[in-house]
Amino acid sequence: MRAVIQRVKHAKVEVDDQVVGAIDHGLVVLLGIELADTHDDMTWLLKKITQLRIFSDADHVMNNSLLDVKGELLVISQFTLMAATKKGNRPSYIRAAKHDHAIPLYESFIAEAEKILGKKVSTGVFGADMQVTLCNDGPVTLHLDTKNKE
């Protein structure tokens, strides 16, 4: 699994000009799932995301996690994160998981996040053409890949 995490002041995702997910202070997670990903990858990634100390404390030092600040989470599926771009100019998505593998992991990620955070997690619509609007706070943007845990 790969994730691009952005600390935001607010964000929303629209499908067909309708807002389907929106948050205030928190994190936007663009989530890519590949064929080799497992429930263990999902668990590791979610724990890492919710515990990353990327929110400022009273001294303006990034010392607090999403859990500490009681922030919100917006999760958006994004198969293009699995793109292979080494050869040629057309990205290959051969490593991206098909719906039958990706959707259960995506849904588990959201369900587990709701348990950890104790609140609803906003989402996009899996596989839809989405428009994402956000105000990146900092800016703070990180990339995580479960294949690079160590």
Question: Which of the residues are catalytic?
Answer: 80
Identify any residues that bridge with 22 across adjacent strands, giving them in sequence order. Answer: 12
- Three-state SS for 67-129 is HHHCCEEEEEECHHHHCECCCCCCCECCCECCHHHHHHHHHHHHHHHHHHHCCCCEECCCCCC
Which residue in 38, 31, 30, 37 sits closest to 95, CA to CA?
37
Q: What is the Cβ-side half-sphere exposure of residue 121, based on CA atoms within 13 angstroms? A: 27
Query: Cβ–Cβ contacts within 10 Å for residue 118, how many?
Result: 8
